[in-house]
């Protein structure tokens, strides 16, 4: 029987309200079936909708299930930060004052609390290494570029299936006009460098036709895995900033920080824009 549940919509990765990536958060997903969760996620029509549940791991503060309009994900970045913000805003009390521990299908994810900023620790990649020639050729064809424009490429999969192409410049990334019908199952990003002295070091775009999201405005999981790749290989400094969603008319800003032990943190602003209830 449907009942009223607390609900929030959170803008993630922008200090300008409605400039980032929204996530819908059902703050009490208890007793909802998989089918009911998927139906709500399809209805909200956002890149992700999450459902907060009691934890099953003793060290976790809550359990999170994450749905796109057509599938469930084991992990996603901006829903992690947005759900943590909604949970705190709704009166959630973490076991530790400086951090939240989220349980999800990918395991336990630590969310660090700073002054108005939340950061999640990037989960381990389940696949890495260079792309095979066939897949790389299919992506470059879909992107409308030649192989010689690819500076580097890599599997950066921490659950959703991400791959990434590194191009030389921000302009090359922003002018991509991908034909996603050629890579309908892909989960792929493109990253390129901003000119020296810019407030952001890189520009990112993320395309996810594989889960029904043509272009994700600001993607935490992609940036997390790309951050692990770039900082480990010395292709980026231990702290850098990424701009995302310019082509979508938004102002996404993501900070990547690699600790001395190799832990990569993904940080960004989170703003609760909608508070209310949902009947489900």
Residues that are catalytic: 48
Contacts of 33 (CB under 8 A, 6+ apart): none
Encoding tokens for residue 274?
């909608």
DSSP secondary structure letters along the chain: ---EEEEEEEEES-SSTTSSEEEEEES--TT--HHHHHHHHHHH-SS-EEEEE--SSTT-SEEEEEE-SS-EES--HHHHHHHHHHHHHTT---SBTTEEEEEETTEEEEEEE-SSEEEEEPPPPSEEEPPPHHHHHHHHHHHT--GGGEEEEEEEESSS--EEEEEEEHHHHHT----GGGSTT--EEEEEEPPTT-S-SEEEEEEEGGGTEEEESS-HHHHHHHHHHHHHTTSS-SEEEEEE-GGGT--EEEEEEE-TTS-EEEEEEEEEEEEEEEE-
Phi-psi region of 235 (alpha: psi -120 to 50; beta: other; left: phi over 0): alpha
Angle ∠(251,40,250) on CA atoms, nearest 5: 5
């Amino acid at each position: 029987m449907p009942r009223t549940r607390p609900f929030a919509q959170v803008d993630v990765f922008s200090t300008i309200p409605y400039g980032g990536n929204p996530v819908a958060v059902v703050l009490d997903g208890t007793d909802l079936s998989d089918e009911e969760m998927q139906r709500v996620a399809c209805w909200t029509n956002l890149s992700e909708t999450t459902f907060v549940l009691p934890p099953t791991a003793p060290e976790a503060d809550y359990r999170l299930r994450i749905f796109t309009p057509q599938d469930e994900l084991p992990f996603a970045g901006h829903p992690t930060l947005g759900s943590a913000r909604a949970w705190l805003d709704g009166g959630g009390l973490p076991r530790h004052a400086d951090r939240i521990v989220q349980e999800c299908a990918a395991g336990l994810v630590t969310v660090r609390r700073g002054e108005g900023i939340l950061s999640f620790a990037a989960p381990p990649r389940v696949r890495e290494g260079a792309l095979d020639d066939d897949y790389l050729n299919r992506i470059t064809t879909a992107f409308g570029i030649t192989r010689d424009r690819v500076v580097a490429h890599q599997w950066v999969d921490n659950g959703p299936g991400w791959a990434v192409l590194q191009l030389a410049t921000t302009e090359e990334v922003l002018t991509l006009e991908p034909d996603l019908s050629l890579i309908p199952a892909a989960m792929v990003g493109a990253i390129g460098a901003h000119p020296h002295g810019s407030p952001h070091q890189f520009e990112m775009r993320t395309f996810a036709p594989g889960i029904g999201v043509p272009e994700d405005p600001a993607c935490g999981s992609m940036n997390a895995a790309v951050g692990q790749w770039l900082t480990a290989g010395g292709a980026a400094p231990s702290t850098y900033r990424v701009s995302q969603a310019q082509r979508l008319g938004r102002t996404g800003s993501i900070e990547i920080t690699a600790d001395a032990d190799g832990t990569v943190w993904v940080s960004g602003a989170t703003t609760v824009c909608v508070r209310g209830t949902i009947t489900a």
